[in-house]
Amino acid sequence: MTTATFAIPRTPGDRIRWAVADYWTMTRRGLAHWARQPGQVVFGLLFSVMITVMFAFLLGGAMIVPGGGNYREFLMPGMFVMVTVFGIGETATAVLNDAAKGVTDRFRSMPMAPSAVVVGRCLSDMALALVNLAVMIGCGLAIGWRPSGSFAETLAAIGLLVLLRFAFVWLGIFLGLILKGPEAMTVVHTLEFPLGFLANVFVATATMPSWLATIAEWNPLSSTVSAARELFGNPGAGGDSWIAGHAMLMAVVWPLLIFAVFFPLSVRRYQNLSR
């Protein structure tokens, strides 16, 4: 009778190579999960497109863009950010399902880097997020949205959107690790809409009561939306408050703060699941 043995990495270089190999393995596993769930992926994309079309054509005629401008051009940067919000629930659901099926416990019993499962989930979900963003950009172009900034500014706007999604992946991973039971995901999906609506995603904060506008402007989503509008050259990027006037800076600071909080919390929670 033979038993399996595993080489224990002893040098820092060995540990790094071991961790990278584990990250890649878990990333491929996450990508395979999404490939086996095409219905879930397609439904998520169609839902985002449906919301975009509804606001652009059904409600857009009643919307006012401060300073003038096309509402569809005002809307699309907000919708790009709203897709990142929907991604929180997708990530949390995938993590929660693995835990409910015992897959997470099985991974924890295997000789792999402690952070491999959560990092692999992050990387695979970021790949899906890039697909979602590409589809939404195509949707925006189809309904008449056009970026009028330079090529470099357009790439910078996309970079800010990806950075926000990266931060929200870690929020989703943490929620998936702390929630118990699939019914808890209903709460997460329900809260996605208030988070998006209480921002400048669909309407300008200038049209809100002053107290509500202050709350909306300090919503991390609003900074990314305003920065993206400015870089894309779309209307509605301005504002009189400090937070609105420094949207470009805060579009970087907010995601980094979210990541700094939820990355260590996610890794620690994963390592302490059985406690």
Q: What is the pLDDT along the chain (275 residues), one digit of tens a residue?
A: 444 444 555 666 666 787 788 888 889 988 887 788 777 778 888 888 999 999 888 877 778 787 778 899 999 999 999 999 988 888 888 888 888 778 877 887 777 777 788 888 899 999 999 999 999 999 999 999 999 989 999 999 999 999 999 999 999 999 988 888 767 777 777 788 888 889 999 988 888 899 999 999 999 999 999 999 999 998 887 777 899 889 999 999 999 999 999 999 998 888 887 65
Q: How many other C-beta atoms lie within 10 A of the C-beta of residue 212?
A: 12
Q: What string of DSSP letters covers 249-267?
A: HHHHHHHHHHHHHHHHHHH
Catalogue the long-range contacts made by 200-203 (C-beta closer than 8 Å, 24 or more residues apart): 200/78, 200/225, 200/226, 200/236, 201/78, 201/79, 201/81, 201/82, 201/225, 202/55, 202/63, 202/75, 202/78, 203/63
- Name the token pair of 271: 């390592």
Distance CA 233, CA 230 (A): 5
**Domain definitions of the chain by residue range:** 42-54+69-271
Q: Which residue has 């995603």 as its token pair? A: 201
Instruction: Report the predicted TM-score, pTM, of the whole model to 2 decimal places.
Output: 0.87
Q: Are 239 and 205 in contact (CB under 8 A)?
A: yes
Q: Which residue has 């790094």 as its token pair? A: 16
